[in-house]
């Protein structure tokens, strides 16, 4: 049967589809003919940066993805790790950056919906959401609108589906004024022998569409996500999908019920590139083909063309291959859950996708060409010429304060450090009753029902560090994320990432990306943490101004005994305060330097990987033996902010502390520098000898630096008072600052 032709494809049409003329000639050469317009649309989304990873695949191949407990690494909807007792965790983080900037509520909401589907598509019930959000300056005229819209979108979608949002991070920086970042993480639990994959195997098996009807929303969403912004970005609103969380909830329950049957061969959601992506990818994984009849696809709009049906990114839609003969039972199950459903095709033996409408063949494309045919680009990379100058910092030019009170107050009131309770109180973080403790500690911790186990989850990235040195900045992001896990009592078991960068066609941006991936791979191999899933988001820039490189990482940790779950706040007056790890004279890239001097310069803090690992091991040993009652890592704002947070973050009973610190470096660097590999712990005085012996045995620098108690935070450096602030004052500043920016 002949493929329906289209009017001549002009260079302008090719350009409008985000393809280069070189790519178009490659399509013609490999097909042996010119594609029609619908086929061109398929190539435009499947060969887009968002779907093909054509600029990043070369580097991503170097990441460590295997391990003894890895059941599924990159290549499927999400990664899977065995946690014992017949259970596995499925998790992934993805971006929805461009849609959220254009339409913040729907962009963020559908980002949540998409990541949920990645998880339950594989057979897991989603049990937790986290997010990593980046906005421009708090006083930028658009920031308030974007922040409120994104938070409302995340809240409404997550709350309606009954999946708790249990933590995350929010940062503000001028580099995100024109391009915010919305990265969403989801984790689910599944029996380790009940994992479903997205493949279309079994010749003759029926292909079923189910979920919401197809509309015209989201067309060219994947292509839009693969280009930078300009003055016309507001015109791209039609490319933003519209979500329906109530249908998503029905979809979750229908899928989980379906998977209890012995009917499912393969299943995949319709995310980026919609029906096109699910069809070709499922066939590609199985080495088969699919015949698809578009006239059977449920639609909510009249007169939709094959092009529109195939490229629509309408939400809450799935594609499933079931065993032949089980289609009517499957359709009845979907009708029970009030979902639209129809048999729209079948699996074929030849690795070709043929698509028909009203008996006419409108698409005839080899699966491999569409799925793997995009060029695997080794783009040129060049170190930014101005980086040497940016990395230089002369501390003598930075006045050393006589006292640290003002700096501490300003840091606690800065948007990056202030409490994010205004945000997370809008999220239902306790639904399903798995959450151990309120958001606000180093990591979110969730119990694993039916066992003594718990899961710890954290997301992290300091983009300033990555701007100053993408290799070590990325390594610090991983190290800090792992510290958050161990401070909660967990052992890291796996990592997922969302790599947010500017235009890869610029050698300087490509250098940042390559350095970041190299740093990520090195430290994950050193810590023996597999990278089991991830996402790349490029072209995050507006009018040529790129964001800071932002390789967001999320780490999942396992607590074998959830009774050892530890939080960051001081528990009892009289407890001793100890500091693990060394404090160096480092202020480069710090929040202190930004807040007090409005400078982003220097180099990131030094990271000693061997020491970092030793600190992790010591912290876990202290927690597992019950020797410490709190643990909190030192990150943004350094030791001073870590101390203040440990005093004021207790949900019911804030406590003061008095510190006596010996130091040979500048006092502001001592208190507000961001040296790595440091964890603040508290413990009863009766445990002091055992804690100090553990430090000696494990060769970790350790000092008792103070005691919990009183109503003030008092810090003495070399027997001279440097800070004295009432805890109530600090808490008020910390709790109220963010609201002043966003209301």
Residue 149 neighbours by CB under 8 Å, 6+ apart: 100, 103, 104, 105, 108
Q: How many CA atoms lie within 13 A of 326 on its CB side?
A: 18
CB 617 within 8 A of CB 492: no
At 557 the three-state DSSP class reads strand
Element (DSSP H or E) covering residue 500: strand 491-500
Element (DSSP H or E) covering residue 659: strand 657-661
Q: How far apart are CA 595 and CA 403, in angstroms?
A: 16
DSSP structure string for 395-441: GGGSPPPS-SHHHHHHHHHSTTTS--HHHHTTS--SGGG-B-S-S-S
Residue tagged 């002009």 (tokens)? 10
Residue 69 annotated among the catalytic residues of the structure: no
Tell me the residue ranges of DSSP E strands in 287-443.
Answer: 289-293, 317-322, 340-348, 352-357, 360-366
DSSP structure string for 169-227: EEEE-GGGTT--EEEEEEEEEEETT--------STT-EEEEEESPB-STTTTHHHHTTS
Q: Pick the catalytic residue: 59, 69, 96, 220?
A: 96
At 28 the three-state DSSP class reads helix
Q: How far apart are CA 636 and CA 650, in angstroms?
A: 19
Q: How many CA atoms lie within 13 A of 602 on its CB side?
A: 26
According to DSSP H, which parts of 625-703 are helical? 638-648, 667-672, 688-698
- Say if residue 67 is exposed, middle or buried (CB neighbours under 10 Å; 0-12, 13-18, 19+): middle
Q: Within 10 Å of residue 545's Cβ, how many Cβ atoms?
A: 14
Considering just the CA atoms, what is the radius of gyration of the chain in Å?
26
Residue tagged 């001592």 (tokens)? 670
Per the document, the length of the chain is 743
Q: CA nearest 547: which of 235, 184, 182?
A: 182
- Say if residue 62 is exposed, middle or buried (CB neighbours under 10 Å; 0-12, 13-18, 19+): middle
Residue 140 annotated among the catalytic residues of the structure: no
Residue tagged 């899961």 (tokens)? 455
Q: CA nearest 715: which of 700, 698, 701, 730?
A: 730
DSSP structure string for 559-625: ES-GGG--BSS--STT-EEEEES---S--TT-HHHHHHH----S-PPP--HHHHHHHHHHHHHHHHT
CB 63 within 8 A of CB 37: no
Q: Which residues of 224-256 are buried (b: 16+ CB within 10 A; e: fewer)?
A: bbbbbbeeebeebeebbbbbbbebbbbbbbbbe
CB 113 within 8 A of CB 103: no
Q: CA nearest 173: which of 132, 229, 135?
A: 135
- Say if residue 301 is exposed, middle or buried (CB neighbours under 10 Å; 0-12, 13-18, 19+): middle
Token pair in block for residue 529 = 């943490």
Q: Pick the catalytic residue: 17, 50, 105, 632?
A: 50
Q: How far apart are CA 651 and CA 94, in angstroms?
A: 31
Q: Looking at the annotation, which residues are catalytic?
A: 50, 96
């Amino acid at each position: 049967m002949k493929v329906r032709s289209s009017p001549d494809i002009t260079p302008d049409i090719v350009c409008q589809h985000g393809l280069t003329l070189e790519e178009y000639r490659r399509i013609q050469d490999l097909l042996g003919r010119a594609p029609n317009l619908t086929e061109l649309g398929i190539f435009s989304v499947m060969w887009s940066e968002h779907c093909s990873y054509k600029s990043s695949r070369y580097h991503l191949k170097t990441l460590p993805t295997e391990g003894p407990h890895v059941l599924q690494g990159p290549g499927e909807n999400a990664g899977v790790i065995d946690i014992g007792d017949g259970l596995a965790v499925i998790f992934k983080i993805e971006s929805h950056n461009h849609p959220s900037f254009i339409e913040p509520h729907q962009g963020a909401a559908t980002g949540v919906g998409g990541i949920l589907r990645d998880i339950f598509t594989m057979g897991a019930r989603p049990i937790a959401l986290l997010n990593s959000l980046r906005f421009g300056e708090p006083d930028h005229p658009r920031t308030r609108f974007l922040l409120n819209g994104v938070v409302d979108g995340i809240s409404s979608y997550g709350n309606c589906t009954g999946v708790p949002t249990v933590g995350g991070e929010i940062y503000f920086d001028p580099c995100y004024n024109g391009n915010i970042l919305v990265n969403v993480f989801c984790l689910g639990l599944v029996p380790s022998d009940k994992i479903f994959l997205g493949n279309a195997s079994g010749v003759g098996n029926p292909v079923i569409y189910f979920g919401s009807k197809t509309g015209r929303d989201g067309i060219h969403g994947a292509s839009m996500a693969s280009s930078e912004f300009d003055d016309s970005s507001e015109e791209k609103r039609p490319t933003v999908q519209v979500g329906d969380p109530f249908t998503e909830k029905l979809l979750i329950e229908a899928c989980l019920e379906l998977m209890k049957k012995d009917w499912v061969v393969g299943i995949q959601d319709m995310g980026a590139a919609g029906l096109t992506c699910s069809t070709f990818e499922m066939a590609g994984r199985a080495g088969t083909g699919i015949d698809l009849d578009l006239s059977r696809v449920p639609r909510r709009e009249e007169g939709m063309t094959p092009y529109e049906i195939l490229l629509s990114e309408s939400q809450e839609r799935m594609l499933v291959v079931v065993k032949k003969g089980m289609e009517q039972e499957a359709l009845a199950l979907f009708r029970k859950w009030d979902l639209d459903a129809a048999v729209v095709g079948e699996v074929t033996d030849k690795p070709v996708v043929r698509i028909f409408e009203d008996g006419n063949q409108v698409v005839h494309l080899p699966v491999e060409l569409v799925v793997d045919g995009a060029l695997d680009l080794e783009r040129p990379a060049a170190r930014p010429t101005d980086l040497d100058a940016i990395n230089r910092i002369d501390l003598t030019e930075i006045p050393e304060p006589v006292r640290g009170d003002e700096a501490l107050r300003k840091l606690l009131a800065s948007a990056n450090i202030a409490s994010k309770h205004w945000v997370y109180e809008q999220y239902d973080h306790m639904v399903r009753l798995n959450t151990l403790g309120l958001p606000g500690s180093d990591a979110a911790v969730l119990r694993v029902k039916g066992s003594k186990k718990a899961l710890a989850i954290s997301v992290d990235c300091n983009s300033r560090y990555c701007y100053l040195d993408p290799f070590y900045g990325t390594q610090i992001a991983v190290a800090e994320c792992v510290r958050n896990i161990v401070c909660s009592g967990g052992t890291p078991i796996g990592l997922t990432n969302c790599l947010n960068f500017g235009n890869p066609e610029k050698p300087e941006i490509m250098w940042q990306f390559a350095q970041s991936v190299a740093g990520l791979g090195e430290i994950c191999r050193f810590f023996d943490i597999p990278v089991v899933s991830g996402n790349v988001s490029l072209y995050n820039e507006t009018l040529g101004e790129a964001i800071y490189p932002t390789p967001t990482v999320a780490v999942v940790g396992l607590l074998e005994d959830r009774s050892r779950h530890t939080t960051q706040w001081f528990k009892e007056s009289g407890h001793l305060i100890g500091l693990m790890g060394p404090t160096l004279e480092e202020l480069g890239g710090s929040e202190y330097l930004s807040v007090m001097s409005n400078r982003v310069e220097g180099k990131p803090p030094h990271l000693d990987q061997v020491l970092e690992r030793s600190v992790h091991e010591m912290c876990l040993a202290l927690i597992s033996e019950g020797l410490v009652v709190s643990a909190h890592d030192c990150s943004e704002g350094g030791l001073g902010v870590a101390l203040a947070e440990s005093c004021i973050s207790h949900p019911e009973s804030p406590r003061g502390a008095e510190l006596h610190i010996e130091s040979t470096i500048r006092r502001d660097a001592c208190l507000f520098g961001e040296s790595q590999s440091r964890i603040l712990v508290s413990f009863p005085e009766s445990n002091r000898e055992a804690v100090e012996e553990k430090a000696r045995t494990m060769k970790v620098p350790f000092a008792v630096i103070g005691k919990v108690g009183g109503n003030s935070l008092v810090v003495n450096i070399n027997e001279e008072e440097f800070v004295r602030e009432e805890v109530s004052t600090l808490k008020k500043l910390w709790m109220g600052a963010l609201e002043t920016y966003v209301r």
